[in-house]
Each structure stands twice: as C-alpha cells, then as structure tokens.
Amino acid sequence: MTAVSRPVERAVLFGAGRPLRLRSGQTLTDVHVAYERFGPPDPSGERTVFVCHALTGDSHVTRHHPDDRPGWWESMVGPHRPIDTRRFHVVCANVLGGCAGTTGPAPDPRRPARAPFPQIEVADMVTVHRELLRSLGVPLRLYAVVGGSLGGMQALEWLLRHPRDAGRFGLIATSARLSADNLAQNAVARAAVLADPRFRGGRYPADDPPVTGLGIARMAGHLTYMSQESLEAKFGRALSPGREGRAAPYAVPGPYAVERYLEHQADKLTKRFDANSYLCLTAAMERFDPFAEPHDDLAAADPDVCVLSFRSDRLFGLDHSRFIAERLLKAGVRCAHVHEESSRHGHDAFLKDVPAYLDAMAQWLGTRARPEVPSSPHP
C-alpha cells in the first residue's frame, strides 16, 4: 500500500486588526501556519506536548497511522515511545520563516516580489506557536514543550519568557548562544548560497532556485550533524562509483563513498527546502542569546527542565548544554542535565534510537520507551 499522510492542517493567524509585531519592530499579518496534531484531544491542555522542530524540519513529527509516511522523530514520538501518542496530545507546527506551509521568505505569489521578508527571531517563532495553541483552544498549561537543536532553542526561549505555559521543558542537543565555531560553520554555508548566480539577491523564482549553493551548504552543514567517529565507521575510505547520467551541480568528482553520501544529503534537501528560509532561520539561530534578557519569573513558576547532550555531538555538545544548565540552576530552576556517553551518531543522536537517551526522556516524561524504535534522518 502506498504510504500517505493525513493532510497537514492550516491556520491563519494575526489578522489586519491584530498584526504580529516582530522583535525587529516590523509587522506581519495573515500569518499562515502549517501544523499537525497527534493523539487524543486534550481540552485541558494538561496532556498536550508541543514539539518544536529543528532547522529544516516540518510539522510531520511522526506517523498518524501505520500506512502513513514516516515522521522525522519516530524514535521519540508515537505509540509506546517517550512522547506516547496513546497518552499525549501532540502538536507540531512548521516554524515562522520556514517553507513547509508556514509563512516565510520562500517565493510566494501572495507577497510582492520585491518586498523583503522581515528579520525573524526565535522569540517570534514562539509567539506564533503560542497563538496557534490559543486558536486551537488549547489552554497554555501544557504538559511539556520539547525540542532538539533549533527546536531546543525554541523550547528554551519559551521557558525563559513564558515559564508557566508548561510543567516541563525538554532542551535537547541545543544551544543558548552559538560559539565562534558555529558561526564560522554558518558563514561557509551562507557564502555557498550567496555565491550561487541563481540566488539573484534572494529574488529567484520558485522554478529556478539556487540549488547549487543550497546543496553545498547542506553538504557542509551535514558534516556538523555527524561525528568523525560515525563517518569513519560508516564510510572510511570506501570507494563508490560516480553518479550515473547527468551529475548534480554540487557533485564531487571523487571516488569515495562519503562523497556520494554528501551528494545524497544535498539532493534530499534541495528538493524540499528553500534557500531564503535556510538563510532566515540560520540567521535567527546566530542572533539567539536569550539569557541576555531578564527572566525573573523562572523560580516562582517552578518548571521541571531536562537538558540533554551527547558525547559525540560536535555541533552543540557538552559545553553548550552545561552553559544552559548552569544558568538555569543559578536562576533557581529545577534542572537535570543528562549527558549521553554511548552514541557515536554526533548531533544526529537526538533523532536516533539511543536507548540511554530515550530511557532518560521516558523517565522524565513519566512514560516507558519501546525497546526498539526506528531512527530518523536529520530534518
């Protein structure tokens, strides 16, 4: 049977009479939001988990039924998994600035061709998430807000600005402030996009996007999602035949299997993601520094926070999570820091079947993890 997905639901928020005021001071009206819901309805909000997705993710976090296409976090969300959809009502929405149904900078006939898309911050993403829940009639007293990578940044921002919205906040493989190394990695990826002649200052048509630049950006970025150990174990110096037929514009003219793998990752992303969204969201990550602003209500709200990191993560590793945990503990927040030592998957470990990590999440959420669950690729 062909795998199908339940249609993504859509909401239009912030009408002309109540526009979305962004952190930049600019405004947006009629903000389209693509979202999906899983599990039993929850009129109280107290059994609702909001899942925040990573950089190139979308609202399809898991399957709605056995014949559905796989979601990007099958190891974490679904029946018998830590975020158990038999028990929890799960909501996941494509972020503001994304390109999977939510308003963003991708070519859009509804927006004048020369009107630049405004600057977006992680805080603006959270504002849209909260308004979506209100529009769905879900009270803001959620069971948990959980996210990894950029999703973890959203969860941290939500915690610091609105700590009474949820009883638990899960911050997985994430950062409160990009390091110089992170910024340098982003600069290389951004340069690849901007150097593509098809980028045209960001005014490219939908049918002729800058796939070369975006593909190279993905190849560079994907190396930060894996560890040196995982690359060596998976590929080493194994050889692989070149591409058959016409090579992609970012193809590497070398004989190694790891080169073919990076080309494959670039292929997948350029078929589903937008270059302007990539630039918009990575820039928001670069500006993110939430502890630089006041967060006086944290201790009184008494949220239960779990910070998770992975030994092999060379993007947002131990130092990033330790910084978050120390700041939260200093603010009087109940914060457990779980550092997973066994996985060699790198940053992608948060999407994989890593038993110690899934067990820790299940214990924190009060559920039981399934012994074996499928792994998901980095979204």
Residue 101 lies inside a defined structural domain of this protein:
yes
DSSP assignment of 70-111 equals P-TTTTTBSTTSSB-TTT-EEEEEPPTT-SSSS--SS--TTS
Query: Are residue 169 and residue 24 in the same domain, yes or no?
Result: yes
Give the pair of three-digit tokens for residue 203: 């005014």
Beta bridge partners of 52: 147
Amino acid at 143: Y
Residue where a domain terminates, one of 237, 254, 282? 282
Query: How far apart are alpha carbons 299 and 295 in whole angstroms?
Result: 9
The answer on 309 and 201 residing in a single domain is no
Instruction: Check whether residue 156 and residue 49 sit in a common domain.
Output: yes
Domain boundary (251, 282, 313) is at 282
Residue 32 catalytic?
no
Structural domain includes residue 2: no
Distance CA(87)–CA(82), nearest Å, equals: 10
Sheet holding 166-172, edge to edge: 9-13, 31-38, 89-93, 48-52, 142-148, 166-172, 304-310, 334-340
Where residue 26 sits, what CATH number does that domain have? 3.40.50.1820
Specify the pLDDT at position 377. Answer: 52
* Among 228, 248, 282, residue at a domain's last position: 282
The parent domain of residue 152 ranges over 9-177+288-365
Is 1 within a domain?
no
For 114-138, the three-class secondary structure string (H helix, E strand, C coil) is CCCCCCCCHHHHHHHHHHHHHHCCC
Are 66 and 140 within one domain? Answer: yes
CB 54 within 8 A of CB 151: yes
Is residue 222 among the annotated active site residues?
A: no
The reply to whether 115 and 240 lie within a common domain is: no
| In a domain? residue 242 | yes
Per-residue model confidence (pLDDT) at position 113 = 55
Please report the pLDDT score of residue 373 as a whole number. Answer: 47
Asked whether residue 379 is domain-assigned, the answer is no
Q: Which of 75, 149, 277, 312 is catalytic?
A: 149
Q: Contact 352/319 with Cβ under 8 angstroms?
A: no
Q: Domain total for the chain? A: 2
On whether the CB atoms of residues 124 and 23 are closer than 8 A, the answer is yes
CA angle 274–277–282, rounded 5-degree value? 125
pLDDT score at 289: 98
Would you state the pLDDT for residue 108? 76
The backbone torsions φ and ψ at residue 123, rounded to the nearest 5 degrees and listed phi first, read -60, -35
Asked whether residue 29 is assigned to any structural domain, the reply reads yes
Give pLDDT, residue 5: 55
Residues 235 and 308 placed together within one structural domain of the fold: no
Q: What is the domain-level CATH number for residue 231?
A: 1.10.1740.110
**Shared-domain flag, residues 38 and 98:** yes
Pairing of strands 31-38, 89-93: antiparallel
How high is the pLDDT of residue 114? 53
Which residue is catalytic, options 58, 274, 313, 353? 313
> Has residue 302 been placed in a domain?
yes
Number of neighbours of residue 15 by Cβ within 10 angstroms: 11
- Please name which of 16, 47, 46, 20 lies closest in space to residue 33, comparing C-alpha atoms: 20
Any bridge partners for residue 310, and if so which? Answer: 340
Please confirm, yes or no, whether 89 is among the known catalytic residues: no
Phi, psi for 27 (deg, rounded to 5): -130, 155
Quick one: 115 and 17 in the same domain? yes
> How much is the pLDDT for 7?
77
**Shared-domain flag, residues 215 and 112:** no
Q: If we measure between CA atoms, which residue out of 181, 182, 180, 154 comes closest to residue 169?
A: 154
pLDDT < 50 regions, the chain: 1-4, 369-375
Q: Which helix (H) or strand (E) holds 52?
A: strand 48-52
Kindly state whether residue 78 falls inside one of the protein's structural domains: yes
* Among 64, 129, 347, 378, the one annotated catalytic: 347
**Shared-domain flag, residues 171 and 195:** no
Q: Are residues 267 and 294 in the same domain?
A: no
Tokens of 308: 């998770």
Whole-number pLDDT of residue 3: 47
297 and 276 co-located in one domain: no
Q: Coil, strand or helix: which one is 180?
A: helix
